[in-house]
Each structure stands twice: as structure tokens, then as C-alpha cells.
Structure 1
Amino acid sequence: MRGIENHFLSQHPEKDSEWSEEQWKALLDLLIKQGIFNWREVTSLALGHLNPSQVGTSIASNKNFQAHFPPRQTWLNVKKWYFNQSGCCADCSTRLELQADHLIPKEIVGAVTFKVQELVNSGRINTADAVAQESGAMLRTELQGYTEFLRDRLKTGRGLPEFSESLQSQIAMGIYRCVVNNITDRKIIEGVADQLSNMVLRCRRCNVVRRPSHKNGGLAFLTTEAALMWILFVKRPQRYSDFEKLCRAYGMTMANIRFQEAWAMAKWLNQQGSYEISEDCQYY
């Protein structure tokens, strides 16, 4: 089996982002031959990730969305919106692990609101018209910065977002209402982003890539959980210390405990004689 692995690795690029569809299929075939899982298990897992996102819970049951519709009408509107989607990630076109995501992030809504409130509190603007004008202007500025942030980050074929004038006006009006009503609760303020017109379907990874709060989103090709196992089964480090270094080199920035948890797979397989761990591997 070790000879098969070496031949396999010699035929594949060093970076997973450069792998072809056939090379990914070859990895799957190899893992099945090794008995890591079987076709039934992997197919069942894929079917589970195809299951549409539970928007009835995440959107229709959310009071922020409910505020935009008459009583008991939210789910009807959410369902209409949901059925009219393509069923694919708006960025990468996958059908796996889709989630409802905001076009204009909550973080931007919060940032703009607090900046406008600061202008009001300092006396630099003191009329309702000025608040409305500044809310719209500052939102446009923040969205321009967000677009540039994404332009620099999105290097894997994902498109830049388009923010319609009507959507910007809706969000700016929500910001205006928060400011004139002196609302300072961040949860309420960021809830302004919770409007169906501001929602889109994205896969879990693309969702993370677009979030300004995830500073290293998009650095890695795979999701973290997938990348940990890719490193383990493809690179096959024999020491935990080497595994940790490979994870850092891949672009992972989380706490070491995530690597230690993943290393358990190496330990389990080693007990079965199907993964080699160096005798001088200390502690782990």
C-alpha cells in the first residue's frame, strides 16, 4: 500500500488548488481502497451536504425578517424567494453546503451606523436630512472599500458583488432609523441587514471568504476540516510537529488544539497498522 501512495503522490501537484478533477477522484479511490470509508458512506455524506439550507429556521423564524411582513406571511415570502434561487452557490456554483448569506454584511451596517452616530454626537451633523444623506454616502464609501477588499482576496474565480441602488437605499434607510432613534444595541443595528433583498445563497466556504472578520478567509483552497485531512492523507507526516508545520504553511491560523484533534486520525490508523508514525514522535 505504501508503494501505491508514493506513486499516487508523484503524479499530483504539490498544491491542492492545482489538482484536476481526475486527481481528486484518484484520491477518493485510494482512500476507499485503503478502507478509510466506503462508497455508501461517502455518497451518503455528499447527499447530506446537498440538502438545502434550513431557511425556515435561519430566516423565516428570525424576528428581523418577520418585521418586514404581515403576521404569518414571512415563510410564504421566504419560500418564494428560496424557490426562485438557482440552488447553487452564487460565487463558485457548487450545490454543496449552501447557506443564506448577506450581500451587504452585518459588519458594514454596524460600522456605518456607529460612524454616523459619532458625527451626530459630536455635533458635526444635526438635522434629519443630514443624517439621511450621511448614512447613504458613508454606506457607499464602505461598500467601495469592501469591494476592494474582495478584489484583493477573491483569487479563485469568485465574482465581485453588485449592490443595487434600491438595496443600498433600503439599508441606508434602516441605518438612518437607528441613528435618529438613538439605537445603540449592536444586535438591533446589524439586524438592519436582515432583509430578503439583501440575501443570497453561498456555500459555507464562500460565506467565510467574504467576511471581513475572517482575516485569513480564502487563503486555503479547502475548508479547514477538509484541509486537515488532506494534509494527513496526502502529505502523511510521521510526526505531529511536522503535521502542525504543514497546517501553518497551508494558511491555517487557528489554535493548535485543532491540529491536535485532527492528529487523532493518525493515531487511530497507526493502531490499525495503516498509518506510520515515527518512533521519535514525542508526546503525540
Structure 2
Amino acid sequence: MLPQLPTEIIYLIIPHAVPDKTTYATHKKERYRWILAYSLVNSTWHLPAQKELYRELWVGSSEELKSRKLLDKARSVGVGRHLHLGVLRIKPEDAKLPSLEGVKEVTLTDMRLTQEDLMRLRDVETLHFQDCEFSDPPFLNSDFAPTFPHLHTLSLLDVRLSTFAFPSWATWFTPIAFPLLRHFSLGFESAFGFDGEDPEGLATSLERLGPQLESLSVAWRTSSDEASILPWGSFTSLQRLSIYPPFLEPLEVLDFPLQLLPAGPSSSESAILTPQTCSNLQAA
């Protein structure tokens, strides 16, 4: 008979035993299977497994979230503060966000987000957008610019903005709208800048937010020349810089941004590179 493990140890084992994330769909299924298996070991394992299951909610649509009452189940075990909502290949009118009361971290994938959706996200502290579109019917208020008074971490990966329903990035992304923002991540699939707006608009918004940012992560898939539009001199409080330009030489990746920061390389605690460039630097 196996010895009984302390509950504290079980709480540590289960999160580390869940498979690493691959794609959204496969991770959701594999994660559920593994955690279900742990919950069936015995009564001692059941509650820690349930807490891990509902700690991060991976759902395919807002309807799934509501019909299965996942947020209610998560609250019943004292967790459920991180929601992954990925809506794939469905009609935009079916992709409405539910009420997110109590949720502090949200990851949204492949969604069309409306003005109403963003209002539901106002109290979230961490937001990750990937392959999302900000749009609404053109007759709605194009001056709409929601504020996020509690948001401290924001990730925008390949997002698209419809200026028919939203203001430009340069107008919207200001310290007034994001007063507590400290950690900002940006990623671009094909061009340095968001769809529907030129890179200068992005540079303007970063220039305003720069003094309050403590960490910045930027990834782009084009030439290094486009990185020169970033207002490096505005990042006066930056402590951590992550850069992922795949077509640069390793030393260029390391030296180019750091030497332009206000206090030089010493003003940044660390620079995080891509795995490929890190291995090249170690081999050099």
C-alpha cells in the first residue's frame, strides 16, 4: 500500500504534473484528463485536483461557460480567477462575453470583441488578447474608450482594431485609460504595428505609457529597422525587457534596445531573448 502523502505535497504535485501547453484545444483536453485522474485517486486527492481544474478555466465559448456554470463551480472551491476563453470558427454574434465577476485574469483567443465586451473586462487585473478583433457595427460610438482602472498586465498578440467603433491606439492607450499598467507585451505576425493603424500611432501610445512601465515584451516578424520607431527614451522605469526579433543576429538583439535606454544597459535588470538566440549566445 502506498504511503499517504500530506495534502500540502499533493497541492504541489498536481499543477506540475499537468502537460505543457501545446495548442488551445489539445491542452484543454489533456489537462482535463490528467486532473480527472488525480481527482479519482482518493478523497485526499479530490479537492486539490478540483481546485487545479477550476483554477484556470479553459472553455471554447461563452455559451459553454454559462451552460456548465463553470464560474459558479470555480467559486465553490475558492478559485477560478483565470479564464481562458477561445472561440473558434463561430459566428460573431454568438461570441458574447458572459459576466466575469470575480475573475482577475482573462485570456481571449480568436474572438471579435465589442464595446459591451470590453466593459465586462474593466475590473480584470491581467488581460491577454491573441488573434482578436476590436470591432462593432459602425453606427456605434466611435469615441468609446473604456478605462481599465485595475489592469496591471496587458498582452496584445496580433490584434486588429476597427476605428469605426473604437478610437485609435494612440488616443486610447494613455495613462488615463490604463493608470496601473506596469507590464505590456506586444506581438505582430506580419508587420510592426496593429492592423488598421500605422506604426507611428503605436509609438505615440507607448511614449505616453513608457514612464509607468516596469516590463516590456515585443515580438515582430519583419526587419530590425522597424524597431527604431519605439520610443526607447520614454521607458524610464523599465526593469525587464524581452525582445523576440527572429531575423537579427544575437548581439544585435542584445545591444540594440539596451543601449538606447535612458541609463544605458544598467537601467534594465535583464534582457530575455528567443531560445534560438540564447543558445547562439551561449555557444559563442
TM-score, structure 1 as length reference: 0.24
Question: Max radius of gyration: which structure?
Answer: 1
Larger RCO: 1 or 2 (CA < 8 Å, sep 6+): 1
TM-score (normalised: structure 2): 0.24
Which structure shows the bigger proportion of residues in helix conformation?
A: 1
